[in-house]
Chains A and B, each alone.
Chain A
Amino acid sequence: MNNDRILAMLVLLLLISTSPIAIAAEGDDDANVILDRELEVGSGVAIEQSIKIEVVEVKTDIIDCAKLRISSYQKPARVISIFQGDSPTEYETSSGTSMYIKVLSVYGDSVYLRVTGPEDWRVTNYYTVESEEEEETKEEAVTIPKLDITRTFDTTVSEPGQVIAVTIKIRNTGNGTATDIVLDESPIRGTYKEDCPTTIEDIAAGETKRASYTLKVVDAEPGTYELSPSILNYQSESGVSFSSESKTSVLEITAAEVLLPAIEVSIDPVDSIMACGDDFPMTVTIRNVGNATSGIVTIKSNLPPDVQVVSGEDDPVYESIEPGESEEYGVTLRTHGEGKHIIDVQAMWADGEAVDTIEFWAEKSGLEQYYIHILAAIPILLLLFWAMKRRKDYSY
């Protein structure tokens, strides 16, 4: 035994000389440190009330190790051996959240543990482990409640103004009655809970109770929300505190559909170059691309001064246009001015206005442009025709 102690001391010295490096290395880790202390054999620590780590045994050998019993809500206790120097051992709770346990040092009857995990996890209790015989005696005498909580929504997609029915089902799967049951739920910004109970009546072993409330989405920003679990804090009849939580839920809030007409104006393309004095058609389409029927839609064409309407319906007024429907009208225009011309067609309705624009260039017609040439050519052609006729007259 003395030899063992001497060996353990030597190992301890060695570890002390190297531990700052290891600790420093672990200290460099960004993970949240839940526990960082020495625990004696036979002692235990509760994390977040439901996770328990108890030191069952320590061994000092070539490589020291500690044997730990770990249990958590809905997961049976299991004993694991963790060797000093190993990578942190992962332990996953029933909710899927993991924490990591690392043995930093092992002493004669204690072990230096470091536990890391979720940021909001804290040690909730330190305690001394009673002997198995005592536990078995107590187990026979003590009843323990165990509540399972399930939270459901009648819809997982909602929009502002909508009311969501939330149902919480609680079942006591333990063997004792749960008392002083308190329901704790994190609020969601932009929502309002109605008739949400904060306390639940006692639930006997094997009994199931339901609670329900409504969640009204008031002005929550559209998006996908992950709702934190509903937490039940309760006690056994003997006064021991317990806690249960539901699974997280996902709620999608969409933007409210607004019913509005939206009018688009489009002018069929016309030739980019026109001849002065020529007629050209212009077809205008007014389409309601919104989701509501429009009121009166008034069309107003802004024509350049030298563009005139030759025929067709100019500036019509439509009583209404159904969503997805369109109206079309055509006019025939004529311009006498050269140069660039811009035509605006404006549609005005109660909620707004839309406009489309076309541009074209007007040039003198070929006839007008070559008027002089044609004028000069006519007598020449006449003379030519005359000469040809005369030639024919004299050809035999």
Chain B
Amino acid sequence: MLNILILGLGQCGNRILDAINREAFGSGGTFAKYYSRQKFPASVKTIAINTAINDLKELSDTLAKDRMHVPHLHGVGANRIIGKRVFGENKEMIMGEIDKRGSFDLIFIITSTAGGSGSSFAPLLAKELKQTYTAPIISIAVLPFREEGSIFLQNTAFCLRELVEMDAGGVLLVDNQYLKKYAGDIKSAYDSINTTTARRILFLIEALNSEMLMVTDLGDLKTVMNGGIGVGTMGFYEASKESTIKSAILGSFKPSGLLFPANVYEDGARAMLVIKGNKKFLDLDLITKTVEELSREVGQVFKGVLIKKGRPKVLSLFTLNSVPELEKLYAIAADAIRFEMDKKEQSKKRLDDAFSHIEDLEPIY
């Protein structure tokens, strides 16, 4: 059984982690935690880390002992410089808490790239974990709404660069901007994004830890994540009555099923497909044939087939050679940074001008 560590950093990471814990209870609803046990598909340890204690308090399905408050006022105020300093000051404590959970075969770091604690902690923590553990470290990086503000954009830009340059095990992107179209309001959008992300992570863990009809494993995952620029995302498709297994597989690469807007057929580097469902729906020949077709366009595609009840569900995970959407985001972020710099300079100049009025004067009493 795989030993997996999932770390949720900052508010966003905490919430997705909480959603993972909630989903692990199954379909019991809000009260499941009072009478049920979490059924992780592997040996999963979770820790929610945050400098804002209120964010930790609002979690509902994560054990108190799995919530770690890094003391610094009530957060770092989206300031990555402060966040990095706080991490440095509490590194030993954080790593000590992680060490208590034992050894791991795979580590997930879930964080928003825009916030303070998560975006500043994630690269540094990934670095520490990389030095301490041999397990691949996959970062689930959540990109902000573009209109959330220039600080969030610049945080995203720098955080994402640091995560990629760390080369710890790959980055899977989740784009709030892209996913909010599936919900009416912001809160529903967040809940929906968190739950969707949580389910896909659990799906992936289940696939890695199960005996499969066609096998894909942790090694395959590492290979996929090393493909391209080490940045990718996940897609998902649940077959309907009319769907064939081929249409389900292809559906998992469609933009509507992705967590980040990407053209797999043009930009894909490597991919992994996990197909789960009743054996009667799973035509292995057709699966093999479809994967072969995909491989010709995408590159290497690993496949795993998991026999379970129900209609086929397909999880796709892939890395990209290029990420146009990220390029756009960085352009916007750069503009925003420049705009902020100009604005700050102008403000400083105006303030200096104001001060200049009293430059040769002294207070008289």
Q: Which residues of A contact B (CB under 8 A)?
A: 383, 386-387, 390-396
Contacts and interface: CB of A to CB of B under 8 A. Distances in A.
B64 A395 contact: yes
B33 interface: yes
Interface stretch (B54-62, B71-79, B329-337): B54-62
Interface residues of B, number: 13
A393 B56 CA distance: 14
24 contacts: A383-B35, A386-B34, A386-B35, A387-B34, A387-B35, A390-B33, A390-B34, A391-B34, A392-B64, A393-B63, A393-B64, A393-B65, A394-B33, A394-B60, A394-B61, A394-B62, A394-B63, A394-B64, A395-B64, A396-B56, A396-B57, A396-B59, A396-B64, A396-B67
Interface of B: 33-35, 56-57, 59-65, 67
Contacts of B35: 383, 386-387
A383 to B, nearest CB: 7
Given A393-B65, A396-B64, A396-B67, 9 more contacts: A383-B35, A386-B34, A387-B35, A390-B33, A390-B34, A392-B64, A393-B64, A394-B61, A396-B59
A396 B21 CA distance: 15
Contacts of B60: 394
Nearest to B62: A394
A393 B38 CA distance: 13
Contacts of A383: 35
Contacts, number: 24
A390 B59 CA distance: 14
Contacts of A395: 64
Give chain A's interface secondary structure class: helix
A88 B236 CA distance: 149
Task: Name which of A387, A391, A393, A394 has the most chain B CB atoms within 10 A of its CB.
Answer: A394
Contacts of A394: 33, 60-64
Nearest to A389: B34
A387 to B, nearest CB: 4
Contacts of B65: 393
A394 B34 CA distance: 10
Task: Name which of A392, A393, A396 has the most chain B CB atoms within 10 A of its CB.
Answer: A396
A297 B61 CA distance: 79
A98 to B, nearest CB: 114
Contacts of B64: 392-396
Contacts of A387: 34-35
Contacts of B34: 386-387, 390-391
Nearest to B60: A394
B13 to A, nearest CB: 16
A298 B61 CA distance: 77
A154 B321 CA distance: 149
A395 B34 CA distance: 12
Contacts of A393: 63-65
A178 B33 CA distance: 134
Nearest to B56: A396
A393 B37 CA distance: 13
